[in-house]
Amino acid sequence: MSNNFHSSSEYNNIIHNKLNDKQLRKNLKSVMDTLKKNRKNTIASRYTNWEELRELGRKVKQNSLSNLANLLDKFEQNAIKNGFKIHWARNSKEANEVILSLMQKNASNVILKGKSMASEEIHLNAYLKENNINAIETDLGELIIQLIDEPPVHIVAPAIHKNRYEIGEIFKDKLKAPLENEPEKLNGIAREHLRKKFKDFKIGLSGVNFAIANEGAIWLIENEGNGRMSTTACDIHIAICGIEKIVESFEDASILDLLLVPSATGANITCYNNIISHPRQKDELDGPKEVHIILLDNNRSKILADSHYYRSLSCIRCGTCLNHCPVYDKIGGHAYLSTYPGPIGEVISPQIFGLDNCSPMLNLCSLCERCSEVCPVKIPLASLIRDLRSEKAGEGRKDIMGYNEVYRSKIEKTSFAIFTNLATSGFKWRLLLAQIRIFGGLGKIFGGIIPGLKNWLAYRSYPILNSNLHSKIKKMEGVIYE
């Protein structure tokens, strides 16, 4: 998924395609409903203090971010003492170059990857391919989408837009496997395919969930064991770590882990917890001989310097804001045209990749606030999206975004001016509602042939403002003005 400029019409086209894809919508709804139900049940049955824990998580991230420069220094010093090699990367280019030079130095043209959204952010696979290096995804979801050359649709579950029948077809077509649709058999096919790759590889790559400054260690959580294979069965392990992943202590990381896992999948704990504190020691039989940690900035320090938007760096990438978003669950992640989709994507993509490049994605939000309510570290997502919309409209501050254009068109400006005029006068507003009540029904009859309405009605039912609703509004006005 390119992070270059995408126009509103590109967004419109892809959104219409996704809305018309009934199978995609069915698949998304089914997975989102399951993930939401699992999360809710686990929190209700296992946690008596979820809200307190959320507040604790918010504070842990707040403290880490306020002290990030010191924690990064401390992490670097301790990690070096532990035998790790630390690389600082200001941007995608520098991170990619570090990995390429390690590949070239070790005469290796294959790298096995555990799941890493940071590697998606820097477009590592495409970069390595241009340099004749084969990056092989070993996470099941990542493997599926790599086989069909698609980017992840979700930050936690990259292939949730495909059901088991579609995955069976993909494995048959791309891996020449027998056609199967039972999850165990599909897992078996993937396992057999990947085990051969794991047999004799030299370099493995992973992301990082938490980097612990006091210990100089990294913590990687996963459910499939491929992360452990990619980080221990190789000679050289490379870990890409966004600088915002640093926390002070194991205790801090444990609090975030307690919040992350139920939020992401509804599980209590992940199957694998890999805490990596040093490369292979003299008396150890296995493990990588070298561990390289790339500390990736890519505009994070610019976000951190902003007194308002820095809160978006608290994200622990649980994905639950995507699962609860009424827009995401209709169109899926590809329609956001960015590595990071959904509510958190709308907040961080414009800041990482530039507001000019992805501003239309800010419209993919109804400001319903569900995302803010479920975020385990209490990021006020909806309010940040609203603020970014102001930036986009040229009404916010321009210092952080570095954009050049004011996006509000003449039609938009005129429409908002008319709306403001009507909505701020009680008499005009009531007159408008009365007219809608009288003539609104005509839209239902002729909406299908009126160009603007036609598109709008393609995926929605026509709202009728009936007299009941009108009297409810009147009552509400009474409550408000009393």
Q: For binding to ligand SF4 (CB under 6 A), which residues are involved?
A: 263, 315-321, 344, 375-377, 379, 381
Nearer to ligand SF4, 75 or 328 (CB): 328
If the CB atoms of residues 112 and 374 are measured against ligand SF4, the closer one turns out to be 374
Give whichever of 322 and 331 is closer to ligand SF4, judged by the CB atom: 322
We find the least distance from the C-beta atom of residue 250 to ligand SF4, in angstroms, to be 20
Residue in the block written with tokens 């509000």: 408
- Residue 378 Cβ, how far from ligand SF4 at the closest point, in Å? 8
What lies within 8 Å, CB to CB, of 301 at 6+ separation is: 243
Cα–Cα dist 423/427, whole Å: 9
Tell me the closest approach of the beta carbon of residue 375 to ligand SF4, in angstroms. Answer: 3
Helix and strand tally (H, E) in the chain? 23, 10
Looking at the Cβ atoms of 238 and 379, the one nearer to ligand SF4 is: 379
Q: Residue 87: what are its φ and ψ, rounded to 5°?
A: -125, 135
CB of 316 to ligand SF4, least distance (A): 5
Sheet (strand 203-206) strand order: 85-89, 290-296, 236-242, 203-206, 110-113, 134-137
Nearer to ligand SF4, 218 or 379 (CB): 379
CB 321 within 8 A of CB 369: no
CA distance 259 to 53: 7
> Rounded CA gap, 463 and 215, in Å?
58
CB of 333 to ligand SF4, least distance (A): 12
> Which is nearer to ligand SF4, 155 or 190 (by Cβ)?
155
Helix axes 50-66, 68-81, angle to 10 degrees: 80
CB of 314 to ligand SF4, least distance (A): 7
Nearest distance from residue 440's CB to ligand SF4, in Å? 38
Shortest distance, position 61 Cβ to ligand SF4, whole Å: 9
* Nearest residue (CB) to ligand SF4, 143 versus 379: 379
Q: Tell me the C-alpha distance between 431 and 95, whole Å.
A: 60
Q: Which is nearer to ligand SF4, 33 or 73 (CB)?
A: 33
CB of 264 to ligand SF4, least distance (A): 8
Q: How far is the CB of 125 from ligand SF4 (least distance, A)?
A: 22
Return the number of the residue (207 or 319) whose C-beta is nearest ligand SF4: 319
Q: Please give the C-alpha separations between residue 339 and each of 4, 261, 334, 438, in angstroms, as whole numbers.
A: 11, 22, 9, 46
Q: In the structure encoding, which two tokens stand for residue 187, read together?
A: 């897992």
Q: Give whichever of 119 and 320 is closer to ligand SF4, judged by the CB atom.
A: 320
**Residue 15 or residue 377: which is nearer to ligand SF4 going by CB?**
377
Residue 131 neighbours by CB under 8 Å, 6+ apart: 100, 103
3-class secondary structure per residue, 397-456: CCCCCCCCCCCCCHHHHHHHHHHHHHHCCHHHHHHHHHHHHHHHHHHHHHHHHCHHHHHH
The DSSP secondary structure of 54-81, one letter per residue, reads HHHHHHHHHHHHHTHHHHHHHHHHHHHH
Dihedral of CA atoms 389, 395, 401, 403 in degrees, nearest 10, equals 100
Q: How far is the CB of 323 from ligand SF4 (least distance, A)?
A: 9
Spatial distance between the Cα atoms of 440 and 191, rounded to a whole number of angstroms: 58
- Nearest-10 Cα torsion for 259, 364, 401, 55: -20
Q: Which two tokens stand for residue 166?
A: 């579609």
